[in-house]
């Protein structure tokens, strides 16, 4: 099983993201017609809190049990705003929407999830937590320049997301793209 913990995204934000992704597809065709980008389906948008990776079913059950207690962070709202790419100032591998408000609380959620899971899942990401919504994954940039692609979208407002829980997802891969199946939700402390 391929697992991750994430915040689910509100339908209103998905709708705005869908329009931005369609715009980015058109721009990519015009600016770098040979670029290969896999765009995220709006219903699959999520805000990753912790990527777990491959896990046996028994470990999945342990993770569900570990995440059963509410997180000691009260519910909050975050604002999805702006766009960018990773790595910065180099050929892009990821095109994303950023988080403009609610970052402190989101970092607190990530810290609590990480502290619960690290003892059983070593080897977490040492690069630090940089929350974002992945809009597209660049397979071959073929001259795609983020500064030109994202021009005018640097401050695009996607909307607000109410964070009241995190979800453990299984990612099921197929030729049609990944399908995310919710396995369990952990509420934030009211």
pLDDT score of 127 more than 90? no
Rounded mean pLDDT of 10-39? 94
Write the pLDDT tens digit of every residue in 76-122: 999 999 999 988 878 899 999 999 999 999 999 999 999 999 888 86
78 DSSP β-pair partners: 161
What is the share, in percent, of the chain residues with pLDDT greater than 90? 75
> Which pLDDT score is estimated for 49?
93
All structural domains of the chain:
2-187 (3.90.1140.10)
Nearest partner of 11 among 168, 161, 135, judged by Cα:
161
pLDDT score of 34 more than 60? yes
> Which pLDDT score is estimated for 88?
80
Rounded mean pLDDT of 164-173? 93
- Whether the predicted model's global pTM rises above the 0.85 cut: yes
pLDDT score of 180 more than 80? yes
Write the pLDDT tens digit of every residue in 48-71: 999 998 989 999 999 999 999 999
pLDDT score of 125 more than 60? no
168 DSSP β-pair partners: 5, 184
Q: Confidence band (pLDDT; 50, 70, 90) for 162?
A: very high
Handedness of CA 40, 46, 48, 51 (dihedral sign): negative
- Respond yes or no on whether the N-terminal peptide bond of residue 87 is cis (omega within 30° of 0): yes
Rounded mean pLDDT of 155-161? 95
Average pLDDT, the chain: 91
> Among 112-116, 137-141, 171-175, where is mean pLDDT lowest?
171-175
pLDDT score of 126 more than 70? no
Name the strands in the sheet holding 179-187, side by side, starting at the edge strand that comes first in the sequence.
46-54, 2-8, 165-172, 179-187
């Amino acid at each position: 099983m391929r697992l991750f913990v994430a915040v689910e995204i509100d339908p209103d934000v998905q709708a705005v993201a869908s329009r931005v992704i369609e715009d980015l597809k058109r721009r990519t065709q015009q600016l770098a017609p040979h670029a290969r980008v896999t765009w995220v389906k709006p219903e699959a948008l999520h805000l990753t809190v912790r990527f777990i990776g491959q896990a046996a079913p028994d470990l999945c059950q342990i993770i569900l049990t570990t995440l059963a207690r509410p997180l000691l962070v009260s519910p909050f709202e975050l604002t999805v705003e702006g766009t960018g790419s990773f790595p910065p100032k180099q050929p892009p591998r990821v095109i994303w929407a950023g988080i403009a408000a609610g970052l402190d609380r989101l970092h607190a959620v990530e810290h609590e999830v990480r502290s619960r899971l690290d003892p059983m899942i070593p080897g977490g990401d040492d690069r630090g937590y940089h929350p974002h919504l992945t809009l597209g994954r660049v397979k071959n940039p073929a001259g795609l320049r983020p500064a030109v692609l994202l021009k005018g979208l640097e401050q695009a407002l996607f909307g607000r997301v109410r964070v009241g829980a995190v979800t453990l997802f299984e990612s099921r891969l197929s030729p049609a793209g990944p399908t995310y199946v919710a396995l369990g939700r952990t509420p934030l402390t009211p």
